[in-house]
Amino acid sequence: MLNYALLLYAAPYSHQAALSALRFADTVVANGHRMKTVFFYHDGVHNASALMAPPQDEVHLADGWRRLHHEHGTELLVCVAAGLRRGLLDVSEANRHGAVSHSLEAPFALTGVGQLIDAMLTSDRMITFAP
C-alpha cells in the first residue's frame, strides 16, 4: 500500500484538473492505497469553499473532497495565504480580520506551506494537478 498526496492548483469548474484530481483520489483508494493529504494551493483553494452551490446535475467537488475525508481520513489542507487572498476564511480568521462571515469549514483546514512539505516528505507519491 502506497501513501499518496495531491497538490491541487486548479479552481473548481474552471478547469478539468480539479475534477481529475478528485477522480484520481477516488481511484487511489479504490485500488487499496491511502490518499493521505490533499493540499489546495493558489486558485485550488476555491475547492474548499463552503459557499459552493453547483447545479444538481454537476459533480459537487467540495462534497467529493469532504466524502474522501470522512470515508478515508484524508487531510484536506488549504494554504492560508492563498486562501485569505481569495476570501476563504475559517471562523477564526474571519474573527481576526473582522469579516462578517466565513467561507471555509471543517474538514478543510487552513495551514501553511510547511504542511505541504511535510506531506511531500511523508508520502510515497506526490501528484500535482494544475491548469
Let me know if 79 is a catalytic residue: yes
Catalytic residue among 11, 28, 62, 79: 79
Q: Tell me the three-class secondary structure of 7-37, residue by residue.
A: EECCCCCCCHHHHHHHHHHHHHHHCCCEEEE
Using alpha carbons, select from 1, 2, 5 the residue that is nearest to residue 74.
5
Residue positions annotated with a catalytic role: 79
